[in-house]
Structure 1
Amino acid sequence: MRSRPASPAKVNHPFFARIWPFVAAHEVARVRALRQENLAGLSGRVLEVGAGVGTNFGYYPQSVDTVIATEPEPRLAARARVAAAGAPSRIVVTDKTAEEFSDSEKFDAVVCSLVLCSVADPDAVLRRLRALLRPGGQLRYLEHVASAGVRGVAQRFVDATFWPKVAGNCHTHRDTERAIVDAGFDVDSARREWTYPAWVPSPVSELALGRARAR
């Protein structure tokens, strides 16, 4: 019998848990629109990884039967449970991580929204997510990604210094799209979007929005 992966260390980001609810409540309209687009057309049983304070919950379509939303940071999970109680879809918040789900817990879709930048081992998480999908299941992602040029240099600098410490282990210069393909997914559609004007010196201005299926 195949054994389950070892449980990862518990997540504890007290500073980020204090600031993220404010940031999430004041997201720019473009990010909110991308969140809604990322969830459009989903149905069946959905796994959302790293739900934060439940920012996505109000965007799930009625065609979704159940959303199992993971949030291992306890302070964020408490807020997510409050958001789930008022959401139009049935949402169950758990503190488990993707690695802690058993092979028998299959999903029709997996949603990742601004989370693969913060996990310790994105390659391992993506492989695990692929294993949790039913045949033909879809990965929906909206993620911070590595930018080119001067902005990419700035991303590498902040990743090596203060950014992960204050932003819940967020790493802005990850090649997340390549990691998705390497984990065994075929990308059906993908594009990049700028959420702030080019002159705004934010390392997380560029987002990748895409849909992929397990091979």
Structure 2
Amino acid sequence: MARRKRPLFARWYPDAAAQLEERGLADRRRRLLAPLSGRVLELGCGFGANFPHYPDAVTELVAVEPEEHFRDLARARADELGLKAAIVEGTAEALPVESASFDAVVATAVLCSVDDQAAALAEIKRVLKPGGALVGFEHVGSAGRARHTAERVLDAVLWTHLNGGCHLSRDTLGAIRAAGFDTADVREERFPYLPFPVSKSPHIVGSARKPA
């Protein structure tokens, strides 16, 4: 599946996102990525916000990003950090890498915006080694019926179109479970320093395991 290009989003998002890193998102990334080791694939690396937080135990990093402008920014960020990373064009629904070859796949605020969540999760499962982990955080739809209905309406009329395909209302945890991952190490948190309305959205955080 060819992903819709979102070049305008790629232009304005990095400056807006930088403020969120200072408010607490950078620390969340650091704690999330600290246990990683071995061969890691990152989905939708954007401008490289995760790059400063990969530990030395990560022996190889491959970052997949569909937007050309983001890839350019990510390469510049990797060079600035002295980080050896292969930054390649691709989509979550058709990852340009071999099967069963990565110890972890990192997706931070990515599954909210992929065109086809089920296809993306099937690809993640394909490229992970048995026992490998999908590691990340995602905002998800609210449990309350009224709020969830409001999120779906906002997605349809405005939010998704302005924010690079992002959806407020997705049941991402349910989709991860339906894809066959063990979600025992996934927990729910709030990220109050994010802009409204995602500051009010539940977030799922942690590691989902591919069966060994």
Fold shared, TM-score > 0.5 on shorter chain: yes
Structure 2 unmatched ranges of 5 or more: none
* 1:27 to partner: Cα distance: 0.7
Task: Give a deviation string over 1:94-147, Cα, whole Å, max 9, x none.
Answer: 112241424446101000100001111011110111010111111102111111
Structure 1 unmatched ranges of 5 or more: 1-7
Quick one: which amino acid aligns to residue 146 of structure 1?
G
Cα distance change on mapping 1:14 and 1:118 into 2, 3 Å:
same
After superposition, where does 1:148-159 map in structure 2 within 5 Å?
148-149=143-144, 150-159=146-155
After superposition, where does 1:16-165 map in structure 2 within 5 Å?
16-27=9-20, 29-98=23-92, 99-104=94-99, 106-149=101-144, 150-165=146-161
TM-score by length of 2: 0.89
Query: What CA distance in whole angstroms lies between the structure 1 residues aligned with 2:3 and 2:191?
Result: 31
* 1:211 to partner: Cα distance: 0.7
State, as a whole percentage, how many aligned pairs show the same letter. 40
The number of aligned residues is: 207
Query: What CA distance in whole angstroms lies between the structure 2 residues aligned with 1:161 and 1:131?
Result: 34
Would you say the 8 A contact 1:70–1:96 is kept in 2? yes
Question: 2:210 matched to 1:214?
Answer: yes
Would you say the 8 A contact 1:43–1:64 is kept in 2? yes
Quick one: which amino acid aligns to residue 108 of structure 1?
D
Quick one: which amino acid aligns to residue 24 of structure 1?
A
Q: SS of the residue aligned with 1:147?
A: coil
Query: What CA distance in whole angstroms lies between the structure 2 residues aligned with 1:49 and 1:169?
Result: 15
Query: What CA distance in whole angstroms lies between the structure 1 residues aligned with 2:24 and 2:149?
Result: 25
Runs of 4+ in 1 over 4 A off after TM superposition: none
Query: What CA distance in whole angstroms lies between the structure 2 residues aligned with 1:201 and 1:102?
Result: 36
Cα distance change on mapping 1:77 and 1:26 into 2, 3 Å:
same
Query: Which residue in the other structure is 2:6 paired with?
Result: 13
Which has more helix, going by share of residues? Answer: 2
TM-score by length of 1: 0.88
Quick one: which amino acid aligns to residue 118 of structure 1?
S
Question: 2:192 matched to 1:196?
Answer: yes
Quick one: which amino acid aligns to residue 188 of structure 2?
R
Quick one: which amino acid aligns to residue 195 of structure 1?
F
Cα distance change on mapping 1:174 and 1:10 into 2, 3 Å:
closer
